[in-house]
Amino acid sequence: MVRLFAAIAIPDDIAQALVRRQQGIEAARWRPLEALHITLRFFGELREDVARDLDTELSTVGGRPFEIVLEGAGSFGDGPDIHAVWAGVGESAELRHLARACETAARRAGLKAESRHYRPHVTLAYLRRPDPAEVAAWIQSNNLLKSPGLWVDRFGLYSSHQTKDGSAYRLEAEYPLG
């Protein structure tokens, strides 16, 4: 079994700027630079044969390269149940199309439909019982975040492995656009 997801990598210069924002929440487990990405579709634990079928389907995803920007900041959860803080992604029809294409590839590979609403973001930290006031202050100080344009000309299939420091990701396959 292998735990997989499709994602867009964040270029180092933009990732470095995000890492500089990783402070101010005591209960945060800040994500390392190499873990920053925009998930297109989380697939979960898959058998090797299903993973091969998924790779085949993802290799047929088309589309042209496009540009996106990271903008804004927020969190998932409320009050004591806040469990992550993130950098937002500006609205992009092309990004939504790519995420839908990854969903279609997953369905063709035999996976169940994703039931959650797609909200593109870059997770910056996972939280465990944070002080809601600290999280609110962090969001307020980062809500004007706006990155330079990020050129998307490929996406990847990544595996996720648990380590003592959290999840580590490895690029398993890359799919060019255009």
37 in active site: yes
* 117 noted as active-site residue: no
Cβ contact 154:61 at 8 Å = no
Question: From CA 177, how far away is CA 104, in angstroms rounded?
Answer: 16
Query: Catalytic residue among 83, 97, 121, 161, which?
Result: 121
Question: Choosing from 37, 83, 97, 117, which is the catalytic residue?
Answer: 37
Residue type at position 91:
E
Q: How many secondary structure helices (H) and strands (E) does the chain include?
A: 4, 10
Question: In whole angstroms, what is the distance from residue 145 CA to residue 16 CA?
Answer: 13
* Closest to 11 in 3D by CA, of 85, 94, 122, 88: 122
Positions marked active-site: 37, 121
